[in-house]
């Protein structure tokens, strides 16, 4: 519970927290510097004031009637007005700028090899900061308008300091998606040190480790991401509102990544326990079912793998490969052929990747990129299954190697290309694409090719 306390000639909104020794320590949530600010906080800007504090501390309960009464009763304790820029805008920036400048000047690589090594170790972070400085300076001549103004007490500036800015998220995502894992790791480390509640940053560190096959390290990072993500939750939230409330998404994503890391480690029961949590704790039945498929298949639970894949492959088409593999392992060769044909028509590149074929050309356009990413994910997540069950892979290879199937895959590729090129102009190609990517089409073709018995 938050409450108001006097602090010098200021008022502090504080919250009692127990330290490791069990003693209660006061943590300052917000400081009110003047009578003018206090009157705004309980008057015409009360809604903004509440939003600032609740956004910064979503897990703390605020009894606003009590807080406002305590602020009003202590108005005489405050000065009439103070200069707010030094407190909330200039002070920390100037202090950090001076400190950084001092350290950068002292780290002279011409004088000491230790300084050269220090700069080399921080090269990627410094390169990012250099680009950020250039970007900020280019935009610093902005004219004042209704969208970029703050109130006299700089509450917006105060609130903005609490979360990682969106352009930093975008830079991190861009580096990772471009395959620059060293750059993504450097920036993610920088951001999580600056904002310890940046759950997405911890998840990116884990994803980098997954790419490097350091699965144990990834587990630790995803656990940190979950812990940080849980602190972002609103005070009260219904299970049905998980995911629709964006503050819950870092936690849910981290849980999914952690399940995937346990799957890669071969710790399938731990992965499946996390899937149960996704369903029961977070209400994410569909996501949980999809995440169960890989540990089921790797762990040779064919019936459960087929049931899970069967229930979601219409929504997550890439899981049709897993459905085909599970059906194959259960001895239903005709059904496996139908599902496999259905999958290779939709994802020809992924099919070849599952057969072990190396990439011949870079993917172009949304469909090919999605196809390639689907293949990459399946190859990684089903690594154990693909290595231990070569008969199933040989079944896929034989299917892809048939001239009639190869021609069908090429036709499907051309249809997707034309449907994309003629979007909004001619529905003919779109309708043909929809037909070819449907399960009834695969059944009909499997019968025509003599694959379904």
- 259 to each of 49, 184, 219, 290, 348, how far by Cα in Å? 39, 22, 9, 11, 27
Q: From CA 309, how far away is CA 296, in angstroms rounded?
A: 10
pLDDT for the residue 196 = 86
Q: Are 116 and 123 spatial neighbours (Cβ–Cβ below 8 Å)?
A: no
Residue 165 backbone class (left: φ over 0; alpha: ψ -120 to 50; beta: rest): beta
Q: What angle do CA 212, 215, 219 make, to 5 degrees?
A: 130
The pLDDT value given to residue 253: 95
Helix (H) or strand (E) holding 29: strand 24-32
Q: Which helix (H) or strand (E) holds 2?
A: strand 2-7
What's the pLDDT score for residue 169? 87
410's CB contacts (< 8 A; 6+ apart) are 348
Which structure tokens are listed for 441?
């089409």
DSSP assignment of 267-280: -HHHHHHHHHHHHH
pLDDT tens-place values along the chain, 453 residues long: 888 999 888 999 998 876 666 677 788 888 898 999 999 999 989 998 998 888 777 778 899 999 999 999 999 999 887 777 666 667 678 888 999 999 999 999 999 999 999 999 999 999 999 999 999 999 888 887 777 777 788 877 776 667 788 889 899 999 999 999 999 999 999 999 998 889 999 999 999 999 999 999 999 999 999 999 988 776 667 777 776 777 889 999 999 999 999 999 999 999 999 999 999 999 899 999 999 999 999 999 999 999 999 999 999 999 999 999 999 999 999 999 999 999 999 999 999 999 988 767 888 888 999 999 999 999 999 999 999 999 999 999 999 999 999 999 999 999 999 998 888 788 899 999 999 999 999 999 999 999 876
312 contacts 284 by C-beta, under 8 angstroms: no
Find the DSSP H helices in 231-267: 249-265
Report the half-sphere exposure of 56 (CA within 13 A, side-chain side). Answer: 23
The whole-model pTM stands at 0.82
Strand partners, 26: 16
- pLDDT, residue 161, reads 67
The separation between the first and the last C-alpha atoms of the chain, rounded to the nearest angstrom, is 69
Q: How far is it, in rounded angstroms, from Cα 297 to Cα 277?
A: 20
């Amino acid at each position: 519970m938050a409450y108001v306390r006097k602090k010098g000639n200021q008022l502090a909104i504080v919250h009692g927290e127990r330290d490791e020794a069990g003693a209660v320590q006061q943590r300052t949530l917000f400081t009110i510097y003047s009578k003018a600010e206090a009157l705004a906080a309980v008057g015409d800007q009360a809604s903004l004031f509440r939003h600032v504090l609740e956004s910064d501390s979503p897990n703390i309960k605020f009894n606003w009637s009590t807080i406002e009464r305590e602020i009003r009763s202590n108005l005489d304790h405050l000065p009439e007005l103070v200069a707010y820029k030094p407190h909330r805008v200039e002070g920390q920036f100037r202090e950090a700028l001076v400190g950084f400048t001092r350290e950068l000047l002292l780290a002279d690589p011409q004088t000491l090899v230790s300084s050269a090594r220090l700069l080399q170790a921080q090269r990627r972070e410094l390169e990012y900061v250099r680009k950020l400085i250039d970007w900020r300076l280019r935009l610093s001549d902005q004219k004042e308008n209704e969208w970029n103004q703050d109130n006299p007490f700089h509450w917006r500036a105060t609130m903005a300091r609490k979360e990682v800015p969106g352009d930093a998220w975008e830079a991190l995502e861009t580096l990772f998606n471009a395959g620059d894992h060293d750059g993504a790791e450097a920036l993610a480390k920088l951001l999580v040190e600056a904002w310890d509640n940046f759950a997405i940053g911890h998840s990116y560190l884990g994803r980098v480790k997954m790419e490097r096959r350091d699965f144990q390290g990834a587990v630790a990072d995803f656990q940190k991401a979950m812990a940080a993500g849980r602190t972002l939750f609103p005070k009260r939230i219904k299970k049905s509102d998980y995911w629709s409330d964006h503050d819950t998404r870092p936690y849910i994503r981290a849980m999914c990544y952690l399940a995937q890391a346990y799957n890669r480690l071969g710790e399938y029961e731990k992965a499946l326990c996390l899937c149960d949590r996704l369903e029961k704790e977070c209400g994410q039945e569909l996501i949980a079912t999809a995440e169960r498929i890989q540990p089921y298949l790797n762990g040779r639970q064919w019936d459960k793998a087929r049931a899970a894949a069967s229930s979601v492959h219409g929504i997550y088409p890439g899981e049709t490969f897993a459905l085909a593999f599970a059906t194959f392992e259960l001895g239903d060769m005709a059904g496996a052929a139908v599902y496999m044909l259905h999958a290779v028509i939709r994802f020809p590149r992924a099919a070849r990747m599952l057969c072990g074929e190396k990439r011949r050309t870079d993917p172009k356009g949304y469909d090919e990129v999605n196809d390639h990413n689907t293949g990459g994910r399946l190859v990684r997540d089903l690594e154990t299954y693909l290595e231990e069950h070569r008969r199933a892979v040989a079944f896929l290879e034989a299917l892809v190697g048939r001239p009639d199937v190869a021609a069908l895959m090429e036709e499907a590729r051309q249809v997707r290309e034309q449907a994309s090129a003629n979007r909004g102009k001619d529905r003919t190609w779109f309708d043909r694409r929809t037909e070819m990517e449907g399960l009834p089409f695969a059944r009909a073709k499997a019968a025509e090719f003599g694959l379904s018995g």
